[in-house]
Structure 1
Amino acid sequence: MKGRVLIVAGSDPGGGAGIQADLKAVTALSAYGATVITALTAQNTRGVFGVHAPPVAFVAQQMELVLEDIGADAIKTGMLHAAEVIEVVCASLDEFAKGVPLVVDPVMVAKGGARLLKPEAEGALRSLLLPRATIITPNLPEAEALLGQPIEGVTGMRKAAEALLSMGPSAVLLKGGHGTGPVVVDVLRTAEGEQLFEAPRIETRATHGTGCTLASAIAAGLAQGLRVEAAVARGRRYLREAMLTAPGFGHGHGPLNHAHTVRPFD
């Protein structure tokens, strides 16, 4: 086991997304996962039916206690549902995790359509969290919300990735899974340039937690000393196999096979 990843996100009792998916991905890639829970959700593969938020002081306390004791080689944020949560997370990052690579998955809307970020919190996400990020991993709807404009095709994605980079993160991985066509294109943009990742589209309902899983896989790579490009490439390979070997559970957007790297004891 190599690399400590602190995951700051919401909980999914169904195990397909959120903290549960994050921990599975980090562990499956041989890193150590610790967690700060920002929200409890009542959800399954069909959708999100309730959200319960702990006091923001408790979120800060979780971060402080884990970071001062265990520490972190990378931090990943997921569901930060309100501006005050983003503010306290950023304050904790500045106080206890200066210089630690930060992966920001700008979670806004669940697969089933439920909002996981209050509209009034989008400004805090843009102004406070994005500039601190080593890499952000928006999907197309999230990127459109952050930029306030539609994104059309790969050409539009390339321009959007550049515009998102200007918001302050060191790198942007703009994911194309919500697009159309037989090939999925993801755009990685850094100050050094651009890299396109292409793969045949997988026709499957096993898409629950794909964003959480990829962001956490990237965080595990950064915690293990990989460069951003290598962490993204490995994370995408891990996610693709997890989708291809999904167990078929649930009646909606099904979960992934996070354990495909794991071999059972005899």
Structure 2
Amino acid sequence: MSIPRVLTVAGSDSGGGAGIQADLKTMLALGVHGMSVITAVTAQNSVGVQGAWELPVAAVRAQYRSVVDDIGVQAVKTGMLASAELVEAVAELISGTDAPAVVDPVGVSKHGDSLLAASALDSVRTKLLPVATVATPNLDEVIQLTGVRVESEDGLRRAAAAVLEYGPRWVLIKGGHLSGDAVDLLTDGSAEHWLRSPRHDNRHTHGTGCTLASAIASGLAKGLPVPEAAHAAKAYVTGAIAAGFALGAGIGPVDHGWRFRA
């Protein structure tokens, strides 16, 4: 039997905690074959992003076609897309691929550095979100995309409804920035799944969003329904956060290999 294959379309994190590097580590840990389309290169470490350079649309399209046309995919995951041109090109590629797509609408880094041009937000809303099987915005990205500000767990439903207006089949609103338990809401507008875990007292959480989206994509590639893939991904990410470790002078990464050391 062929191993499930997942393609990540995202930026490179030179520090190894997020982006393409986090995606591929997650996929390896979860037993799928990870492949990559690099959209941008960042100079990035534990304290921030020192520079970012997006790749030409032609280079992104060529990478995608090279992988999909020969190897094939069972799921696609998107992360940093940087510009409107890249967002629209990737949305077009996904729409022509017969595989579920997990869209992590990356807007800012863990350190608050912008990773998406303001001019690209409308393209995310009108081109990328409509082709998403699951969209996974955090609360800052919800504000960017919809203007909805969530101050408490009760606001997660309102945020989800606002994102669903743009057309993804499911949305997972990540409530990690709220106080109390780490709670996320997964919904398709009718069914609701509350993903809740204890909050770990660990500041080393770089790469959390990339890791969650990649874990969901890995589950979908294995044939799991969206709710089951999300629950499994939440459990994996919770363990990775608990095992996060110091690296450099700032915020360290989650531990993608925690299950190998548990």
TM normalised by structure 1 equals 0.95
Aligned pairs for 1:42-121 (under 5 A) are: 42-95=43-96, 97=97, 99-121=98-120
| Structure 1 residues not aligned, in runs of 5+ | none
For 2:243, the equivalent position in structure 1 comes to: 245
| Structure 2 residues not aligned, in runs of 5+ | none
CA–CA distance in structure 2, aligned partners of residues 83 and 110 of structure 1: 18
For 1:123, the equivalent position in structure 2 comes to: 122
TM normalised by structure 2 equals 0.96
Q: What is the one-letter code of the residue matched to 1:109?
A: V
Structure 1 vs Structure 2: percent identity of aligned residues?
A: 49
For 2:132, the equivalent position in structure 1 comes to: 133
Matched, 1:262 2:260: yes
CA–CA distance in structure 1, aligned partners of residues 71 and 260 of structure 2: 25
Q: Deviations over 1:158-186 (max 9, x none)?
A: 11112211210010100111112x21211
Q: What is the one-letter code of the residue matched to 1:74?
A: A
CA–CA distance in structure 2, aligned partners of residues 41 and 134 of structure 1: 27
For 1:17, the equivalent position in structure 2 comes to: 18
Q: CA deviation at 1:84?
A: 0.2
Is contact 2:153–2:178 with CA below 8 Å preserved after alignment? no
Aligned pairs for 1:152-171 (under 5 A) are: 152-171=151-170
CA–CA distance in structure 1, aligned partners of residues 201 and 261 of structure 2: 26
CA–CA distance in structure 2, aligned partners of residues 139 and 191 of structure 1: 18
- SS of 1:141's partner is helix
Moved more, 34-43 or 49-58: 49-58
Give the paired residue count: 261
Q: Deviations over 1:211-254 (max 9, x none)?
A: 00000000000000001111111101101111111232222111
Q: Deviations over 1:55-85 (max 9, x none)?
A: 1111000001110011100000000000000
State which of 185, 201, 207 in structure 2 corresponds to 1:203.
Answer: 201
Q: What is the one-letter code of the residue matched to 1:10?
A: G
Is contact 2:170–2:187 with CA below 8 Å preserved after alignment? yes
CA–CA distance in structure 2, aligned partners of residues 205 and 211 of structure 1: 14
Q: CA deviation at 1:50?
A: 0.2
Is contact 1:29–1:261 with CA below 8 Å preserved after alignment? no
